Amino acid sequence: MLQENNFELGGLGDDGVQANAQDGAGFNNANFATPVDGQRPRCRMYLWNNHDPFLDGDFDSGIIIHEIGHGVSNRLTGGPNIVGCLPGGQSGGMGEGWSDWWAIALQQQESFPPNMAFPMGDYVVAGGIRICACSLLPAAPPLPACRLYVCLLFCLHYLVCLFGAAAYSTTV
Ligand SMILES: [Zn+2]
């Protein structure tokens, strides 16, 4: 999944991510197109024109992880050949939340205090691109903080669904 060679461990290869840095198709965003297993996904990272000079979203690892997260959740929710299960509304919001959670979780360091706020995309937008930042404990002002355990509950729910889908796909 999302790699050229799966080393005979299942799934189709030849679908490494085509990642476009400073893609010219837009500004102030990024996106990830996820085709079915065996077809190459495309990640497009844009410049942010809310600064002078423009900022490059490629320098925010959280945004890149978030976008790759869309590829993972789109491929695994519904199975490798059904990638349209998270189109918008509640399911789309869950996809956004999972991607944010991965981005925040993969950037954690042992030295971080538990009340530290982790805004998404704070390199390109001061304070982040979401209405609140995630934190294990209520974050210090001025950032309002969502509780990380809410994110964890969503993640646990997702993992249960994920393993269920994997078990289903290997037996059918
Ligand atoms: Zn997203």
110 as an active site residue: the answer is no
Higher pLDDT, 172 or 38: 38
Please report the DSSP string for 48-92 in residue order.
ETTSSSPEEGGG-HHHHHHHHHHHHHHHHSS-TT---S--SHHHH
Question: pLDDT grade, residue 133 (50/70/90)?
Answer: confident
Q: What is the pTM of this model?
A: 0.81
Tens of pLDDT, residue by residue over 5-33, are 999 999 999 999 999 999 999 999 999 99
Distance 135 CA to ligand 1 centre (A): 19
Distance 87 CA to ligand 1 centre (A): 11
Q: Where are the domains of the chain?
A: 18-171
Higher pLDDT, 60 or 172: 60
Distance 8 CA to ligand 1 centre (A): 30
Residue listed under structure tokens 């495309």? 42
Per mean pLDDT, which range of 14-18, 34-38, 135-139 is the poorest? 135-139
Separation in Å, CA 71 to CA 6, 123, 129, 163: 16, 22, 20, 17
Say which of 4, 8, 67, 110 is annotated catalytic.
67
Beta-bridge partner residues of 19:
43
Segment 35-58 mean pLDDT: 97
Residue 166 pLDDT: 46
